[in-house]
Amino acid sequence: MTTNKLASDDFERAIFKGFWRKVASWLTGHSNQLLPFDEVRTKLPIQGQRYIGLRAVPVHHIIGSIGRYLDFDRAFLPTQSRTKGRWVSIDQAHYEQVPLPPVELIKMGEAYFVKDGNHRVSVARQRGQEFIDAYVTEVDIPVPLPLDTEVDDLVLKASYAQFLDQTGLAHSRPEATFETNDPAQYARLMEHIAFHRWLQGEKRQADVPLDEAATSWYDTVYLPLVQAVREQGLLKDFPHASEADLYLWMVKYLWHLRAAYKDESAAEEGATQSARQEAARQLIEENSQPIVRRLINVLGRADWVDQIAIQRGQADFFEQTQLTQLRPLAQISISVPGGYDKLLEHINVHRWYLGEHRQAEVPYMEAVTSWYDQVYLPLVEIIRGQDVLAQFPGRSEADLYLWLLEKQADLKDAYGEEVSAEQAAHSLADLQAKVDNGGGKRA
């Protein structure tokens, strides 16, 4: 049999395989199309390009073409017969061991696009060739372009590229990844950055550049939560979700959790379970996807989530109040989620009272120091003086400050008259002593 006949038979087998791959793509809904280079180039911003020379390129990494993307499928099987002669001549050269010149490729991310040599790539792939010699030009883009990228993914990639361009994170934190399967998630991430930018501006009393705020948000908000996701191995439990997805869903859950804890009495039994149920209910109202419901079930059983909520609350509290700068000796720690949010609420109420007394608006930082000096510290001194903390191992002075105010309000309701902080402290300590001795209700 002649080499021409062998090559012709190879082509017929290739086009027959291509037909059945097309049928399979219809049935499965997966794209069988080569990536069009021009469409990728128009959707993704190009940051630069350079010639990197002659390389041995893995054939299966070539998933696109500049001009022939309709003539071949994703496996570089021919989809038409009009160029059969060109295909057969190249295959025949292989049979006759005639050297062929290297192809020309464009590299973007992990993917390669054929600039010249589509038929050579097609023949090489059908012959089972693992590598092909190629002159390669590499084009830099801001987002990953993996080998499983499909045409429909380009809209998502474009949203990702726009997010990186607006925030500058591709340059300030090039190691960071924010991939997701939902383009709307990037708008949500931008909302988080905008809020963080506002907080930074309030802190400085000056406008903060977006790229600077985005970097600060990544370092202080996004990355700590993502590191917790990694440490807990959540991506193994949710293989179809990304770190960015889990971050956004967890932030919502933590926000609802802190709000629910804030509305609970920390001294009551069942507060933890009640707060988690309320947080779950709120998040499901906003997003009832099955994957979000599964995540809620996981988070609802995880004690580490409470610690994350406490850490996030602490960071927000000190970021907003600047108390470590205003009162360097102040040491405020909370062991209950939502506690820092309650402290912020107390400061806001104290600020309102000061404003009513002065009949003028009180600067926030002045209200913070006044609350600390005139409200918080005097109650803490009572707690220290009566050694109440000894009755509550594992708790903090700030915990007892909150519980003391709750107890003071409860006693007022019970007796119909004002109760001093000292009396409330005695009552709180006596109640805990009864619990420790086997009676009464635990605080």
Task: Give the lowest-confidence range in 66-80, 94-108, 205-219.
Answer: 66-80
What's 12's domain CATH number? 3.90.1530.10
Q: Is residue 172 part of a domain?
A: yes
d(CA 44, CA 158): 6
More confident residue, 435 or 391: 391
**Mean pLDDT throughout 322-338?**
89
- List, for residues 278-312, the tens digit of each pLDDT value: 888 888 888 888 999 899 888 888 888 888 888 88
> Would you say residue 70 lies in a domain?
yes
Whether residues 200 and 116 fall in one domain: no
Q: Is the pLDDT of residue 200 over 60?
A: yes
Checking if the pLDDT of 264 tops 70, the result is no
Residue 127 shares a structural domain with residue 171:
no
Axis crossing angle, helix 153-167 with helix 210-217, rounded to the nearest 10: 110
Residue 90: pLDDT over 70: yes
The tens digit of pLDDT for each residue in 343-369 reads 999 999 999 999 999 999 999 999 999
Give pLDDT, residue 227: 93
Question: What is the three-state SS of the chain?
Answer: CCHHHHHHHHHHHHHHHHHHHHHHHHHHCCCCECEEHHHHHHHCCCCEEEEEEEEEEEHHHEEEECCCCCCEECCCCECCCCCHHHHHHHHHHHHCCCCCCCEEEEEECCEEEEEECHHHHHHHHHCCCCEEEEEEEEEECCCCCCCCCCCCHHHHHHHHHHHHHHHCHHHHCCCCCCCCCCCHHHHHHHHHHHHHHHHHHHHHCCCCCHHHHHHHHHHHHHHHHHHHHHHCCHHHHCCCCCHHHHHHHHHHHHHHHHHHHHHCCCCCCCHHHHHHHHHHHHHHHHCCCHHHHHHHHHHHCCHHHHHHHHHHHHHHHHHHHCHHHHCCCCCCCCCCCCHHHHHHHHHHHHHHHHHHHHCCCCCHHHHHHHHHHHHHHHHHHHHHHCCHHHHCCCCCHHHHHHHHHHHHHHHHHHHCCCCCHHHHHHHHHHHHHHHHCCCCCCC
The mean pLDDT value of the chain amounts to 85
The answer to whether residue 267 scores a pLDDT higher than 50 is no
Is residue 423 over pLDDT 70?
Answer: no
Same domain, 26 and 92: yes
Residue 83 counted as domain residue: yes
pLDDT band at residue 120 under the 50/70/90 scheme: very high
Q: Are residues 88 and 229 in the same domain?
A: no
pLDDT at 407 over 90: no
Clarify whether residues 294 and 158 are in a common domain. yes
Name the domain count of the chain. 3
Say whether pLDDT at 222 is over 90.
yes
Total Cβ atoms within 10 A of residue 134:
26
Q: Averaged over 73-80, what is the pLDDT?
A: 88
Q: Judge if 249 and 227 occupy the same domain.
A: yes
Which of 241, 275, 310 is a domain's end point? Answer: 310
Domain that holds residue 36: 3-140
Confidence (pLDDT) at 203: 78
Distance CA 297, CA 398 (A): 30
Token duo for residue 203: 């802190």
Percent of the chain past pLDDT 90, that is, above it, reads 45
pTM equals: 0.74
Q: Which of 87-101, 174-188, 260-274 is least confident?
A: 260-274
Q: Quick one: 259 and 378 in the same domain?
A: no
Tell whether 259 and 340 lie within a shared domain.
no
Pick from 56-65, 94-103, 394-403: least confident: 394-403
Residue 358, in any domain of the structure: yes
How many other β-carbons are positioned within 10 Å of the β-carbon of residue 214? 28
Q: What is the pLDDT of residue 419?
A: 46
- pLDDT per residue over 224-241, tens digit each? 999 999 998 888 889 889
Mean pLDDT, range 381-394, rounded to an integer = 81
Chain length of the chain: 443
Residue 420 forms part of a structural domain: yes
Choice between 269 and 164, residue whose per-residue pLDDT is larger = 164
Asked if residue 34 and residue 93 are part of one domain, the reply reads: yes
Mean pLDDT, to the nearest integer, of 370-392?
Answer: 85
Average of per-residue pLDDT across 192-217: 91
Judged by average pLDDT, the poorest of 103-117, 183-197, 211-225, 396-410 is 396-410
- Measured CA to CA, the distance from residue 288 to residue 293 in angstroms comes to 6
Residues 162 and 130 in one domain: no
Phi-psi group of 392: left, alpha or beta (phi > 0 → left; psi -120 to 50 → alpha; rest → beta)? beta
> Which of 140, 164, 187 is the last residue before a domain boundary?
140
Give the position of tokens 């998933």.
63
Q: Do 182 and 252 share a domain, yes or no? A: yes
At residue 436 the predicted structure's pLDDT band, cuts being 50, 70 and 90, is very low
Query: Do residues 403 and 443 make contact, with C-beta atoms less than 8 angstroms apart?
Result: yes
In a domain, 320, yes or no: no
**20 vs 253: which has the higher pLDDT:** 253
Query: Measured on CA atoms in the order 141, 143, 148, 150, is the torsion positive or negative?
Result: negative
Same domain, 249 and 372: no
Residue 406: pLDDT band (50, 70, 90) is confident
Domain assignment present for residue 443? The answer is no
- pLDDT for residue 124 is more than 80: yes
pLDDT level of residue 223 (50, 70, 90 thresholds)? very high
What are the φ and ψ backbone dihedral angles of 55, each rounded to 5 degrees? Answer: -135, 155
Position 428 pLDDT exceeds 70: no
Average pLDDT, integer, range 192-213? 90
Of the candidates 82, 116, 140, which is a domain's last residue?
A: 140
Does residue 168 carry a pLDDT above 80?
yes
Is residue 319 in a domain?
A: no
Q: Backbone phi, then psi, for 8, in 5-degree steps?
A: -65, -40
Q: What confidence tens digit (pLDDT) does each residue in 169-196 have?
A: 999 999 999 999 899 999 999 999 999 9
pLDDT for position 186: 95
